[in-house]
Chains A and B, each alone.
Chain A
Amino acid sequence: MSAVYLQGAVLNSALADNLTDAALAVEQGLTAHSRDFVLHERNLQRNYFAVIEPLSLMKHLHANINTLHNKHAIPFADCLLIIASTGLNIEYFETLTHTQKNFTPSDATSLNHLALTLQEYYNFAAAFCINTACTSAANALLYGARLIEQKQYSHVVVLAFETPSEVAMQGFGTLELTSSSKQYRPFHPQRDGLILGESYAATLLTSHPTSQTIARFLGGFSACDTSSLTGTREDGSHITWVMQQALSDAQCDMQDIDLIKLHGTATHANDLAERNGMQNILEHKQVPALCVMKPWLGHTLGACGLSETLLLIECLKNQHIPVMPDSQNCSVPLIQDPLWPLKKTRVLANFFGFGGNNASLIFDTGESLCK
């Protein structure tokens, strides 16, 4: 596909309420703001990476759009809004259930409610939500870029978020996928599951670069592995195929990739499948550097495609790369040196999700993006 450009980035996460401070926090070895919750019936304590200053969902979303608009003057009337989230306004439903002591099917508002509200408020040309579980934001970036390439829209705002949902916390708990050690360690021999995270992220996609371009999106691929609703096939073959298709779409080869951002949920099945899917790459003479982002943000579910991408871009801008502590014995050779020497980096980023959705994105970040 033709290149599409990311202009500007907004991220409010459990690390900091802005992207600059979040990248600094990573560099300084700080950890995410964590709070505990209890799994119902089992009375087991788990933790959650929450933003430092809680706001209502609409305040977060307006703040992100306005921050983006103040820096990049979004031409709303020619711009598509894509919202990426698994929970959408689930927090409102949860509050309503607590208040009423009951929730009836007719209490559920439409899935398009938030998109329509923001479309009407800002006068976006159109708006919809993409919900493909943990690949939601990755798909929003991929299809937003493709729609620009095909001249359907000149600009696309991608707004990705995940709120602290009780249903998600208890749901992942009941599937026994949440960490009991409260340590987020993807690919580590003692990994024991994921830690969910809250985040609100935004970016603007355009067809032309500017002096404020932060990344050049080269392509990607997304497809459904129908072997299981809750994970991809263990041999990693679908992951390998998706990465190959993404490279083909971006018209490059694995040897052009400097860094692979792994999905790395720290669940047994995901990490095993991703490790197996990486096997061919790991056998190459020159293996790209490998990194993970979830230990700093938590698993931000539908938002991870954007929240992890933006934090990684900001870290690379500072020529720093997140290095997970005690990662020498991981099942994949994660990067050990936090100093990143390259001024321009080509990244392949993996995102996998429930519903069998696997996605890989490829982008350049660093100097000379305007050329």
Chain B
Amino acid sequence: MQIIAASQITGCASTTDKQLKKALQQWLVQSPRRVDRFILQSLLAAAAIKQHVQADCGLYVASTYPARTTMASLLNTVCAEQRQPKPFEFVNSVSNAAGFHIAQQLKLNGPNLFISAGSQVWQQLSMLADCDLKSGKTQQALLVFCDEDGSFNAQAVLVEDSAAQLATSIDFQSLCMEIDICTYHFSSEVDAS
């Protein structure tokens, strides 16, 4: 399994969506409009290594939680206030919306999966990617994991060739130990790279 590039974007609960959008501008010419915090975080991790990504790359995204702020807003609108949801909020609540925006921004036209993240998330993402790499359906696989529980941590790994069987307990750091990880951290006061 050849790791081509990796990124890690971290921040805290006080990091604003505006800060996320501003950071995204350094990698993307035109950021998508009307997207939520979860999409921005996932997009940041992918965009940070976009220069290495080919069009026939498969995309495999995982998250621990749904887009929590979007979910809360939708539930309060529909169930508590008995109102119609905003169309873009409803559409953003689909878990694979982040995958769509990554694919659109990075111009990827291959497979695009979204899975729930558990303790074996990296093993499961690479196993699914391996299905497409081994059969020649893609030449690259972009694995993205996003976790937000107060602070957030979005990670991306770009791989080529067939992925060897990974240990079930493998984590991001072990996976990327032989390459430089592109990191970006939003501090609590100001955004800094």
Contacts and interface: CB of A to CB of B under 8 A. Distances in A.
A130 B115 contact: yes
Nearest to B120: A126
DSSP majority for the A interface?
mixed
Contact of B85 (A115, A152, A174): A174
Contacts of B76: 97, 102-103
Contact of B65 (A42, A108, A131): A108
A164 B112 CA distance: 26
B103 A224 contact: yes
Interface stretch (B21-29, B90-98, B172-180, B184-192): B90-98
A175 B112 contact: no
A163 interface: no
Interface string B103-125: 11001111111111110100010
A224 B79 contact: no
Contacts of A107: 72
A108 B71 CA distance: 8
Nearest to A103: B75
B80 A41 contact: no
A127 B116 CA distance: 9
Contacts of A129: 115-116
A111 B103 contact: no
A148 B130 CA distance: 12
A98 interface: yes
B62 to A, nearest CB: 8
Contact of A130 (B97, B113, B118): B113
B182 interface: no
Contacts of A356: 100, 103-104, 112
A116 B116 CA distance: 10
A128 B124 contact: yes
Given A174-B90, A223-B112, A224-B111, A150 B96 contact: no
Chain A interface residue count: which class?
35 or more
Contacts of B169: none
B115 A355 contact: no
B1 interface: no
Contacts of B97: 229, 354-355
B61 to A, nearest CB: 10
Nearest to B34: A229
B72 A354 contact: no
B99 interface: yes
Interface string A161-186: 00000110011011100000000000
A105 B68 contact: yes
Nearest to A170: B78
A1 B118 contact: no
A268 to B, nearest CB: 16
B91 A111 contact: no
B112 to A, nearest CB: 4
Contacts of B84: 39-42, 170, 173-174
Interface string A1-23: 10000000000000000000000
Contacts of A108: 65-66, 68, 71-72
B110 A223 contact: yes
Interface in A132-169: 132-133, 139, 143, 146-147, 150, 152, 166-167
Contact of A86 (B78, B85, B94): B94
**Which residue among A41, A42, A131 has the maximum number of chain B CB atoms within 10 Å of its CB?**
A131
B112 A132 contact: yes
A41 B84 CA distance: 7
Interface in B97-153: 97, 99-101, 103-104, 107-118, 120, 124, 127-128, 130-131, 134-135, 137
A222 B78 CA distance: 32
A103 B80 CA distance: 8
A170 B85 contact: yes
Given A106-B68, A223-B110, A355 B120 contact: no
A94 interface: yes
Nearest to B123: A126
Given A223-B109, A224-B109, A355-B99, A1 B135 contact: yes
Contacts of A94: 75, 78-79
A230 interface: yes
Interface string A75-110: 000000001001000000110011001111111101
8 smallest beta-carbon distances between A and B, as pairs: A224-B112, A171-B90, A111-B116, A105-B68, A355-B96, A146-B131, A129-B116, A97-B79
Interface of A: 1, 39-42, 83, 86, 93-94, 97-98, 101-108, 110-112, 115-116, 126-133, 139, 143, 146-147, 150, 152, 166-167, 170-171, 173-175, 221-226, 229-230, 245, 249, 353-357
21 contacts: A39-B84, A42-B84, A103-B75, A110-B117, A110-B118, A111-B65, A115-B118, A126-B124, A127-B118, A131-B94, A132-B96, A146-B135, A166-B78, A174-B86, A174-B90, A175-B90, A221-B137, A226-B103, A226-B108, A355-B100, A355-B114
